[in-house]
Amino acid sequence: MNGLEKEFPFCSNPDCELYVRAGGLGVVGAGNWAVLPDGRIVGRSIYSGVYLCEPWDANGALFLQ
């Protein structure tokens, strides 16, 4: 696990259920992919220096449900 994975949440949008950090309660593992409770697998990318998971666009709008 590198420093970025420990320091920043998986998704930087506080409204996202993936606004969690590696090592947090209920979080298993670390990396750039996550499995949601419903079984969907999502990735994350960096937009203007901010981590956002795939369901959020660079403007913070939810586009995948």
In a domain, 35, yes or no: yes
Q: Is 43 contained in some domain?
A: yes
**Residue ranges making up the domain that contains 7:** 3-53
State the average pLDDT over residues 6-15. Answer: 84
Tell which residue, 59, 63, 57, 53, has the closest CA to residue 31.
Answer: 53
Measured from the Cβ of residue 4, the count of other Cβ atoms closer than 10 Å reads: 12
Q: CA-CA distance, 47 to 59, in Å (whole number)?
A: 9
Q: Is residue 59 part of a domain?
A: no
Domain count across the chain: 1
pLDDT of residue 58: 57
Residue 65 included in any domain: no
**Residue 47, in any domain of the structure:** yes
| 44 within a domain of the structure (yes/no) | yes
Mean pLDDT of 39-49: 83
More reliable by pLDDT, 11 or 7: 11
Predicted TM-score of the model (pTM): 0.70
Is 48 contained in some domain?
A: yes
**Residue 63 in domain:** no
